Amino acid sequence: MKLSHKLYPFQNSDPNRKSIGDIIILHGLFGSSKNWVTVAKFLSNFGSVYAVDQRNHGDSPHAEEHSIRLMSEDLEEFIFDHKIQNPVLLGHSMGGLVAMYFDLTHPGILKKLIIQDIAPRSYPFAYDNEIQSMSFALDGYSSRTEIDSEMAKYVSDTFIRQFLQMSLERNENGKYGWKLNVNGLNHARRVFEDVFTFDTTSMTPTLFLLGGSSEYIRDSDFQVMDQFFKNNQKITIAGGGHYIHFTHQAKYLELLDRELSSIS
């Protein structure tokens, strides 16, 4: 599948600073490249950044099938089409699962792997409320405020609703619609199950950036991280949840700066 993306070319005011190479960002479930503008612009100080829309998200095509394996194949095609060599791959949540699966099945391709707040294991599809909040008919709604009020019946968290609404668009006829393939994602409820069922290991330098208060990471995950990724480092942002690139952005960018500055 040909994926849509936003390119942020390498630009640095220091003439002595050379590019570390290309950087690819993979967003999480219900996200898109739009969620990563600030991070992508920051990372363009180190190299050219490709912020990708994965299948069924953003401006990329919709498909009936949605799996980590297929998204990894989409990424392989993207890297080949854009002639990208030895990239740094940053993946958050679903994007992190895709990034880890890609690295484990494509040894020697990546220069570095950065995984945000997810572990190489199975996860339940615990997003019924989010799906319901995007499944009611939008005909007759004339404003985002009206839609938000209806969504609040299913998702009380304002932050999550605003995150979801980054995929809400209004066409030239004034009608609202979701850029997400909501129905397709709803039918992919096993997307996070039984992904890492092989014995392959990776020596790719890997950084796990974790939220200290995240519900996605448990103590036993550290062992499974070590099991698959033999050359890894783990950094936890105290008090952070699943969206540390938003909620703890200053610390998050500081850690990325330190990590990428060490790459020659």
Total domains in the chain come to 2
Mean pLDDT of all residues belonging to the chain: 96
Q: pLDDT at residue 140 above 80?
A: yes
Percent of the chain with pLDDT over 90: 95
| pLDDT 10s digits, 87-112 | 999 999 999 999 999 999 999 999 99
- CA 172 to centroid of chain Cα atoms: 29
What are the strands, taking DSSP E only, across the chain? 5-8, 23-26, 49-52, 88-92, 112-116, 168-170, 176-178, 206-211, 232-237
3-state secondary structure of 5: strand
DSSP states of 48-107 as a string? -EEEEPPTTSTTSPP-S---HHHHHHHHHHHHHHTT--S-EEEEETHHHHHHHHHHHHST
**Residue 172, pLDDT score:** 85
Q: Indicate the pLDDT class of residue 124, thresholds 50, 70 and 90.
A: very high
Q: Could you tell me if 83 and 13 lie in one domain? A: yes
Q: Could you tell me if 58 and 18 lie in one domain? A: yes
Q: Could you tell me if 148 and 228 lie in one domain? A: no
Q: pLDDT at residue 146 above 80?
A: yes
**Residue 135, pLDDT score:** 97
Cα 15 to Cα 187: distance, rounded to the nearest angstrom: 50
Q: Could you tell me if 29 and 152 lie in one domain? A: no
Q: Indicate the pLDDT class of residue 66, thresholds 50, 70 and 90.
A: very high
From 186, 202, 223, give the residue that closes a domain.
186
Q: Which domain holds residue 137?
A: 128-186
Q: Could you tell me if 177 and 257 lie in one domain? A: no
Q: Could you tell me if 118 and 205 lie in one domain? A: yes
Q: Could you tell me if 109 and 132 lie in one domain? A: no
Q: pLDDT at residue 15 above 90?
A: no
Q: Could you tell me if 96 and 52 lie in one domain? A: yes
| pLDDT 10s digits, 206-223 | 999 999 999 999 999 999
From 186, 208, 225, give the residue that closes a domain.
186
Q: Indicate the pLDDT class of residue 68, thresholds 50, 70 and 90.
A: very high
Environment class of 158 (CB within 10 Å of its CB; exposed 0-12, middle 13-18, buried 19+): exposed
| pLDDT 10s digits, 186-204 | 999 999 999 999 999 999 9
Q: Could you tell me if 173 and 205 lie in one domain? A: no
Q: Could you tell me if 100 and 114 lie in one domain? A: yes
Q: Could you tell me if 27 and 145 lie in one domain? A: no
Q: Could you tell me if 207 and 139 lie in one domain? A: no
How are strands ordered across the β-sheet holding 88-92? 5-8, 49-52, 23-26, 88-92, 112-116, 206-211, 232-237
Q: What is the CATH number of the domain that holds 59?
A: 3.40.50.1820
Q: Indicate the pLDDT class of residue 16, thresholds 50, 70 and 90.
A: confident
Token pair, residue 262, equals 């060490």
**Residue 13, pLDDT score:** 77
